[in-house]
Structure 1
Amino acid sequence: VEAATRSGSLISARLAGEMGRLVFAVPGSPLDPRCAGTNGLLKDGATLVTEASDILDAMKPLDERMGASVLREAPDGPLSDDEPAESDRDRVLEALGPTPTTLDDLLEHTRVGAATLQIVLLELDLAGRIERHAGGGISLLL
């Protein structure tokens, strides 16, 4: 969300714009130098984003030009029959603590599959039981 004037993210965004790709930016404080790059993108024509619907609205014309649905509705019913076992959920909970842990460490300590781990973490995230940190760390909220 923040990009200083000389950040790698800003370079990527400028290159994307030059290639005709959509560039979105969330505005930041004009007094904060960490937001100067992002605010500059907005001045240069990036699409202003204040909520998720801004991105969805910008994608609608693309959907119509292609003549097919790029943004599909979720199918009815479960996406998978691979419901995590309670023992898998318990192992993930036991491996989490107040100190951030990486996905690789969780996979190694729990011995559950990557897909199962992602499902359990999503459930915990939606329940407000975990916190995601910079660098990919995950910790349990106590």
Structure 2
Amino acid sequence: MNRSSLKVERDSSRSGVVLVCVLACMLIAISIAASSVHMAMRGARASKQNLRSRQTQWLLQAGIARARSGLQRGDYSGEEWLVPATQLPESSGRVVIDVAPIESATDHLTWDVTVTAQYGPTTDLLTRRSHSFRLKPKALPADE
């Protein structure tokens, strides 16, 4: 072997080592970037789910207040209402209020009330909350 062929082998060996190091660094950088994107997307999904959950809770509270108010006025049998997507941040909302007299109550002034609220753009992203309670309308103060 002569000196020039030995030098070419050394240069070629160094180039291979440098190439492997560069590829390893690129792989690490791409992994970090992919992980960052994944975490950002997960955070965005969690944020949207939190928004849907809060919006559903607000619809439920509005439905409960409306049921109490309707029973105070008398002759209220419940209702269903839709809030269009133009009035809410992401999609439409729906509230169903079911009111039924309790048969065993002696005064027939006690009602079983179930309020169900749902909010979300599609079935798989739908958030639903429900609340059931008993109510004696005459016993409630008018401002409650």
Tell me the TM-score range normalised by the shorter chain.
Answer: under 0.3
Higher relative contact order (CA 8 A, sep 6+): 2
Q: Which has the larger radius of gyration?
A: 2
Structure with the larger helix share:
2
- TM-score, normalised to structure 1, is 0.22
Structure with the larger strand share:
2
- TM-score, normalised to structure 2, is 0.21
